[in-house]
Structure 1
């Protein structure tokens, strides 16, 4: 689904990424690489293949959009280095595109580790009227694109049917991306009258309006 925001055009993708055509860039928030292995190490009975889903989704959007850059809006990794770091390193070495990481609160792996892989690490990015961050921020005169919240929306059907879906959450001067990671959970959104929620299905992005 196309979205005009801050005088720029974007495409919201069912994977949870945001494509920025004028910059040929893909924006991704909250992958949380290593989270599955982190929980497995601490006794949770999770299949290891769940952690590989993030790489499958990344490869899918690279093939679909052929971007020049991936911009990670924070929380690329969930915690300290584990097996996913080795997988991520191998994946990065196969890529030829530019990568930038805006540091999130979970990104405790030293920046030089990412920089050694050729990934630029920054606290924020400003581009014309756009302000790209990990945490939601308000800055006069800027439109904020961010992550961190892992927004979700609860659809209610006939009877007591309920379905929780990840979503893009658009406020007047802020767009919050859904968590890209396969094992991240949701913060349920109750939008105000002047706000928009775009839920993700398997192959569609749908406005709740």
Structure 2
């Protein structure tokens, strides 16, 4: 689904990322790579396949869009306990396949505690806000800002009505004229159910399609 935001055309991807075709740049937030490993160290049995699945998903997006640059909006590695040799090998193998990509990370709260990614991954790390020509890239949303911005951190989700009185939560993008809050890219991250604020439009994703919910504001160009 394409939207018009800050006079720029952006493509919302059902895989919980945004592609800026004009600048050949992909944005995503909160992959939390290695979260399963941190849970296992705490005695909770979680398979490592969650990280492999997320890297495979990222590979498909890179190949589908032909992007030349990825900007991670924080929380690249979940915790210091996540920095295992297994994770290092998985990320290194992925990076070797896409060595041509420029990679940038806006340090989030988890990055500040886990430390920057391994140097051989070739990721340029920045404190927030990191400014592009059109807007800022952040990890945490802020109430006071000088430029429009992208952010993550919240892991926003929206409760859709199902049959009867059932509700099903799905990841979503929160979009207003001055900010976009991204859903968490990682598959093992959880959701925080949000309610749209005035002037916001919600775009729900189930991983296969994007649904723009009715709103007084509309940013949709085409499905």
> 1:138 touches 1:144 (CA, 8 Å); kept in 2?
no
Aligned-residue Cα RMSD (Å) equals 1.6
1:177 and 2:187 correspond: no
Work out the CA distance in 2 between the residues paired with 1:140 and 1:51: 34
> 2:91 touches 2:121 (CA, 8 Å); kept in 1?
no
Deviations 1:45-65 (A, max 9, x none): 323322311111111101100
State the match for 2:87 in structure 1: 84
Runs of 4+ off more than 6 Å: none
Kindly tell me the number of residue pairs found equivalent between the two proteins: 208
Work out the CA distance in 2 between the residues paired with 1:132 and 1:34: 23
Structure 2 unaligned blocks of 5 or more: 215-223
> 2:34 touches 2:78 (CA, 8 Å); kept in 1?
yes
State the match for 1:125 in structure 2: 130
1:164 and 2:162 correspond: no
- The Cα shift of 1:163 comes to 0.6
Deviations 1:36-85 (A, max 9, x none): 11112212232332231111111110110011111111101101112222
State the match for 1:100 in structure 2: 104
Residues 30 and 140 (structure 1), Cα distance of their counterparts in 2 relative to 1, 3 Å cut: closer
What SS does the aligned partner of 2:61 have? helix
Work out the CA distance in 1 between the residues paired with 2:58 and 2:16: 11
State the match for 1:63 in structure 2: 63
> 1:129 touches 1:141 (CA, 8 Å); kept in 2?
no
Residues 50 and 110 (structure 1), Cα distance of their counterparts in 2 relative to 1, 3 Å cut: closer
Residues 202 and 118 (structure 1), Cα distance of their counterparts in 2 relative to 1, 3 Å cut: closer
Work out the CA distance in 2 between the residues paired with 1:131 and 1:138: 14
- The Cα shift of 1:138 comes to 4.4
- The Cα shift of 1:140 comes to 4.5
Structure 1 unaligned blocks of 5 or more: none
State the match for 2:31 in structure 1: 31
> 2:28 touches 2:185 (CA, 8 Å); kept in 1?
yes
What SS does the aligned partner of 1:54 have? helix
Deviations 1:125-148 (A, max 9, x none): 212331111111345542111111
- Within 5 Å, give how 1:125-144 maps onto structure 2: 125-138=130-143, 140-144=145-149
> 1:171 touches 1:195 (CA, 8 Å); kept in 2?
yes
